[in-house]
Each structure stands twice: as structure tokens, then as C-alpha cells.
A and B are shown apart, each in its own frame.
Chain A
Amino acid sequence: MTRDAKRLSLILLFAPFALWILLLIVLPHIGMVALSLREKVAPRIYEFGFGNYIDFLNEPIYWNTLLRTASMSLLVTALALLIGFPIAYYIAKIAGRRARGALFLMCLIPLWVSDLIRAFGWILLLRQTGVISSLLVWSGMTDEGIEFLYNDAAVIVGLVYTVILFMIVPLVSTLDGMGDDMIEAGYNLGGGHLTVLRRIIIPYAMPGIVAGCIVTFMLTAGSYLTPILLGGKNSSWFTEQIYNQFITRFNWESGAAFGFLLLAFTSITVWLGLRLSGQSLANTVART
């Protein structure tokens, strides 16, 4: 193949990718940033300014919602890691060859059902006339049904359930790459269970942990259906604010500003997380 032909094939290969990045990622965001920097001074008259951002800062409800969304997302991420790590370890290291496939498949099953149906399943379980509450009444532990829905705990449980798969998959793939002899060497050289976990298994799995955390955090912070359906009116999720600005208030400028703020805020959180764990994004992506 001549060099020109090589270059041509390279361009052809990359064209769809470049188009996708440009049309679906770069352009909408430029549009959104531009939109968010327009201030409404009179009906149909706009001028450039940071008014939408200043509004955000001046209204505590807005930034409280953002902080709440971020902290709840961090909590969900931490819970997903705490629950997902033992599961991933079991799948990758303890389960036999055949059990492994079945277990992995079971983790994937929730993905076959849409977000909406999954959330609705939780509602059936948790509402006052739902399965759990009815069971409690039937067993005589309470006289009246208990409303488990519409509180933070319900939102967190629902979110952890939705995103945990995205924690387990990268963890399994990194842990799978770790030979059993690595763990045995850890014990052989005198380490106890805790030392082996802390000094060998976790550092080895770090790229998977970071990748899983990034994905779960981003998914959680950007989720809409689960917090709204399980948290009800007082879920105060930031995506709900964005939705309200765009759809209810028809204030596209402020909605765009909020959207951009969410992106910036989550990006900074991820960057801080990478910094603290001493991982680089490239390293994380390459190892998982």
C-alpha cells in the first residue's frame, strides 16, 4: 500500500468518529454555552452576560440542589463500590469457570429492562400499599402500612441498584487480570488478609475502581427518572431543576447554564478524585 492510500484509509476510518465528536458532542455544547451566556433584557431582546450564572449563585435553592445531587451521587458511588467489590471479587476470583458466566449474566439482567420499568418495580415494592409494607402488616409488625417511597433512602437504594453493574464490570475485568499467584505471593511473604487486600488486591484493582467510580458517579449525577420517581416532589435532584428551567419555565438560557454547571461540576469532582487516587485517566482507560 502506498503512503497516500494509507493516509486515505486512515481519514476514512476516522471520519465517522470525528463527525460524531463534532456534531453530537462539540457542537451542542458550544451551542449550550453560547445560549447560557445570553441575558434576557426585554422580551425577545438578549445581550451577552453572565446573568444566568449569577442567578444561580444568588438563589440558594439552586446551588444547594447541585451540592445535594453531588454529595448523594458520591454516596451512591461509594455504596456501589462497597457492595460491588466483593461481588466482583467473587465473580472474578472465587467462582468457578461455569458459575462465572451465569453470575455475570445475572448482573446484566436488570439492563434488559428499561429504566422506567425498573423504577416502577421499586415503586411496587416500596409504596404504602406495596409488597414490603403489606408483608409487615400481614406479619403484624405494624398496624398500618408504611410509606417507604419518597425519601432519600429510596432514591439511594434505587440508584445503587441501577448503576452497580457499571461498577462491577470494570472491577471484574481488572481483577480477572490478576493472577492467583499474586495473592498467594502476598500471603507467602507474610501478609495477613487485611494486608493482602490493602497492599495488593486494591492497588492492583485501582484502575478498575477508578473507572467504575467515574462511570457510576457520572451516571448517578446525570440520572433523572430514578430520583424523580422514587424521591417524588422533594427529591431535589439537579437534573430536575434543569428540566424545570427548559420545560416548565421555558427559560432555555438558564437551563443551558445549569446544564453546563452540572457538567463542569461533575468534571471537577472526577478530576479531584483522579488526583487523590493518583491515577491518570489514560492509565485507567488503558487498564480496563
Chain B
Amino acid sequence: MTTDDAFDLECLGICKDFGAFRAVDDVSFRIPSGTFFSILGPSGCGKTTLMRMIAGFETPTQGDILLKGRSVLSVPPNRRNVKMVFQHLALFPMMDVYENIAYGLRCAGAGKDEIAGRVADVLTRVALPDLARRQIHQLSGGQKQRIAIARCMALNPDVLLLDEPLGALDLKLREAMKIELKLLQHQFDTTFVYITHDQSEALVMSDYVAVMNAGRFEQVGRPEELYHAPKTAFVAGFVGDSNRWSGRALEVRADGIKVETEAGLTVVATAFGDGAISAGDAVEVFVRPEFIAATRPGPDAAAPGGNTHSGTVDSVLFNGANSRVLVRSPNGTMIEADVVVTGGGNDLHEGDPVRLDWPFAQTMCFAAGGA
């Protein structure tokens, strides 16, 4: 794993300027062979620009891109062994499915029999063996998706780039395609670089996720790392749901940092990220709803190492297994907590008094506005 060719794709200090505007800012990463790598970021953060540079449609202002250990900056897009599934798929409407897949093989100079064999093979692998002679407009959304992937995979690329390919699908199909994409990646055993602004897509499918913001990579890591150990406030806020409060550090203690939020809630939090926090600093505090236990007020004392607050149930957001309660604390702060709604007599209802407990360790505190 120390040799260079263990990495299918490496980007070293990539920058891209459009005039005075820097769309991609000093991005470096390397992707080990055969992984599913996602780039997650809000709209306009430079994801597509980064991908277009990898595919060769844009030239980086600075930095180098290596494929299988070799720089490809001087290689034109049609010679790079990086294939791309476009946001709107870009299947060729004037050709049928067979011709769409055969196009790339023809460009590579494959013979007639070889093309027929490869097309049939790749169609079976995406589980659409009978569609070779269909016209593009006769396919369903999910089928188009798979044909677009098949068209690229027929060429055995080193890296497959996917630019929000699920964006155009409806919710139900998106859910199904998430799992399917992951399975396809296993099948082909090729490196996938997947762009998305939907954090759940990234978490479900990826081996590694890079969180991007305003042209920079904030953090690269396994999904559970990003979720449980975010390095910046942006990552904590963008990946997964959380209660987010701004406040001020009152006191740095051995077991955590005592913080008073703007609304006047006092919590003890654990420092995350690189920035050192001292008393008086502005901070941002994040608590994920699933770590907050919402119970009826009882006699048992607060557990050590935990924040305890009381409040009243403002509303119950029923969503099956993902149900939540919205709790209003005495000072008016709204706190979201996950609950199990059984339908029985013990469920929380609007207006009920409620007690909230969550551990210090799950209260993530970042220096506000810090780098």
C-alpha cells in the first residue's frame, strides 16, 4: 500500500480560478483502488468544477492530477481513462442502447465481435440484458441511470466519476438506486468518485467521504468518522442532523467546557476540532437528536457526565422509526430529540413536561468562526 499505483486517483494542491473567483482552493486527496469515494458539499461549492478538472474539461490553475501514479494534466479528455456519468446522464438520444454503449468501444478501435461481446456482458452486469435495441426515450429513469453507468463501465475505466446522477430521480427511486450503485461498484470493483449534496447518499454508499465547502475540503474520512468525530463546525452541521447553538465558553473544566448559549441554556460540552478554546471564546455547540434521551420527569438523579434539562413538549414530529419531539426549554430554546413512538400510553404528547439527558461527550463544541 505504499507504492504509488495503489492509488487510482491523486489530486495534489488543486486550485481553480474563474477570473478573480476561486472555485476550488488547494484540494488534495488520494483515493485507494477500488473504493467508493464521495465528495459532499452544498450547492456551488465547486464539486462539479473539481470533477471536470479530473475529467479534463477544465485545466487547474495550480496543482497536479495523477491517475494510476501518472500526471494527466497534459492528456486531453478523450485520452484519459476516466469516465463520467453526467448529472443529466447525457445519453445520446439518436442512438439506441446498444449504440450508446458501443460508441466508446468503437472510439477505442474495438472489432465488431468484441463490441457485441462487451456490450452484452456489461448489459448483463447492470441486469438489463434485453434492452440492447431499445431507444433511449423508451427507458425508465432508473434504467437510463444504469445504461449511463454501463456505457462508461464497458470501457474499463480506472476511475468512474458520477456527478449527482440521482438528482433527477424521484425520492423512491433514489433510495433504491443508492443501494444499487453501491452493489454495482462492488461488482465492477472500480474506483467510483461520487458527487452529491445529499449527506445521506454519501453516508450510505461511501467508503470515504470528503466534505467540501467554498472550494476547500473540510475533512476526509470514513462516514462514521465524519459523523461522530467532525473536525469543523461546518462538517458537524452538514453531516447528519443536529441541534446547533451558538454561545460563549464560560469555563474550561477537566470534564468539558461549560458553555452558555445565546438563549441562556447552560451545557457542558467536549471540545472537537483543532482550535483551542479558552474561557470567554465564542463557540458553536452541536448535539445530535439521537443522543438526547427524552423521558417523563422522574425522581432518579442526573447521571454523572451528562447534561440534564427540563422542558415541555412543543410538538411531536411523527415519522415512524425516525420520530422526534420538539422540546421547548424554560428559556425558549427549541431542542430536538429522537423518541420511540409506540402508540401506547407511555408516549409523549404535546404539552407534557419532559426531561432531557445527554452526555457531555456527545456535546460537540467548536471555536466559532475559527479556521
Interface residues of A (CB under 8 A from B): 179, 181-182, 184-192, 195, 199-200, 203-204, 206
Q: Is the CB of A190 within 8 A of B78?
A: yes
Stretch at the interface among B103-111, B289-297, B354-362: B103-111
Q: A181-B86, A191-B103 are in contact. List 6 more A-B contacts (CB 8 A).
A: A181-B90, A185-B92, A188-B78, A188-B83, A190-B78, A191-B78
Shortest Cβ gap from A173 to chain B (Å): 16
Given A199-B103, A203-B94: A187 touches B88 (CB 8 Å cut-off)? no
Q: Is the CB of A189 within 8 A of B155?
A: yes
Q: Is the CB of A188 within 8 A of B94?
A: no
Given A179-B88, A181-B87, A184-B57: A189 touches B94 (CB 8 Å cut-off)? no
Shortest Cβ gap from A81 to chain B (Å): 18
**Bound complex: CA of A207 vs CA of B93, how far in Å?**
13
**Bound complex: CA of A204 vs CA of B79, how far in Å?**
24
Q: Mark B143-154, 1 if CB is under 8 A from A, else 0.
A: 000000001100
Residues of chain B within 8 A (CB-CB) of A190 are 78-79, 104, 107-108, 155
Question: Taking the complex as formed, is B77 at the interface, i.e. its CB lies under 8 A from any CB of chain A?
Answer: yes
Question: Taking the complex as formed, is B84 at the interface, i.e. its CB lies under 8 A from any CB of chain A?
Answer: yes
Residues of chain B within 8 A (CB-CB) of A188 are 55, 77-78, 82-84
**Bound complex: CA of A179 vs CA of B108, how far in Å?**
24
**Bound complex: CA of A189 vs CA of B151, how far in Å?**
8
**Bound complex: CA of A206 vs CA of B104, how far in Å?**
21
Quick one: which of B76, B82, B94, B155 has the most chain A CB within 10 A?
Answer: B94
**Bound complex: CA of A58 vs CA of B357, how far in Å?**
107
By DSSP majority rule, is chain A's interface helix, strand, loop, or mixed?
helix
Residues of chain A within 8 A (CB-CB) of B107 are 189-192, 195
Residues of chain B within 8 A (CB-CB) of A185 are 84, 86, 90, 92
**Bound complex: CA of A186 vs CA of B84, how far in Å?**
11
Shortest Cβ gap from A174 to chain B (Å): 11
Residues of chain A within 8 A (CB-CB) of B88 are 179, 181
Within 8 A of A (CB), among B50-86: 55, 57, 76-79, 82-84, 86
Residues of chain A within 8 A (CB-CB) of B77 are 184, 187-188
Q: What are the 8 tightest A-B residue pairs by CB atom distance, in nearest-first order?
A: A190-B107, A189-B104, A185-B90, A181-B90, A181-B86, A203-B94, A187-B78, A187-B77
Chain B interface size range: 20 to 34
**How many interface contacts (CB-CB < 8 Å) are there between A and B?**
60
Residues of chain B within 8 A (CB-CB) of A199 are 103
Residues of chain A within 8 A (CB-CB) of B55 are 184, 188
By DSSP majority rule, is chain B's interface helix, strand, loop, or mixed?
mixed
Residues of chain B within 8 A (CB-CB) of A181 are 86-88, 90
Residues of chain A within 8 A (CB-CB) of B152 are 189
Q: Is the CB of B104 within 8 A of A204?
A: no
Q: Is the CB of A189 within 8 A of B83?
A: yes
Q: Is the CB of B92 within 8 A of A182?
A: yes
10 contacts between A and B (CB under 8 A): A179-B90, A181-B88, A184-B77, A185-B86, A185-B92, A187-B77, A189-B152, A190-B108, A203-B94, A204-B94
Q: Is the CB of A184 within 8 A of B90?
A: yes
Residues of chain B within 8 A (CB-CB) of A200 are 92
**Bound complex: CA of A191 vs CA of B55, how far in Å?**
14
**Bound complex: CA of A140 vs CA of B212, how far in Å?**
68
Residues of chain A within 8 A (CB-CB) of B78 are 187-192
CB closest residue in chain A, given B108 = A190
**Bound complex: CA of A190 vs CA of B55, how far in Å?**
11
**Bound complex: CA of A185 vs CA of B83, how far in Å?**
9
CB closest residue in chain B, given A183 = B90
CB closest residue in chain B, given A205 = B94
Residues of chain B within 8 A (CB-CB) of A191 are 78, 103-104, 107
Our pick among A182, A203, A206 for the contact of B90 (Cβ within 8 Å) is A182
CB closest residue in chain B, given A192 = B78
**Bound complex: CA of A33 vs CA of B87, how far in Å?**
57
**Bound complex: CA of A190 vs CA of B83, how far in Å?**
9
Within 8 A of A (CB), among B105-159: 107-108, 151-152, 155
CB closest residue in chain A, given B104 = A189
Our pick among A186, A189, A192, A204 for the contact of B93 (Cβ within 8 Å) is A204
Quick one: which of A182, A184, A188, A190 has the most chain B CB within 10 A?
Answer: A188
CB closest residue in chain A, given B163 = A181
Shortest Cβ gap from B156 to chain A (Å): 12
Residues of chain A within 8 A (CB-CB) of B79 are 190
Shortest Cβ gap from A201 to chain B (Å): 10
Shortest Cβ gap from A180 to chain B (Å): 9
**Bound complex: CA of A159 vs CA of B342, how far in Å?**
82
Residues of chain A within 8 A (CB-CB) of B84 are 184-185, 188
CB closest residue in chain A, given B84 = A188
**Bound complex: CA of A175 vs CA of B94, how far in Å?**
13
Shortest Cβ gap from A97 to chain B (Å): 16
**Bound complex: CA of A203 vs CA of B93, how far in Å?**
10
Quick one: which of A186, A192, A195, A206 has the most chain B CB within 10 A?
Answer: A186
CB closest residue in chain A, given B78 = A187
Shortest Cβ gap from B153 to chain A (Å): 11
**Bound complex: CA of A182 vs CA of B84, how far in Å?**
12
**Bound complex: CA of A170 vs CA of B108, how far in Å?**
33
CB closest residue in chain B, given A207 = B94
CB closest residue in chain A, given B94 = A203
CB closest residue in chain B, given A191 = B107
CB closest residue in chain B, given A184 = B57
Residues of chain B within 8 A (CB-CB) of A179 are 88, 90
**Bound complex: CA of A34 vs CA of B152, how far in Å?**
62
**Bound complex: CA of A182 vs CA of B95, how far in Å?**
12
Shortest Cβ gap from B97 to chain A (Å): 14
**Bound complex: CA of A187 vs CA of B52, how far in Å?**
12
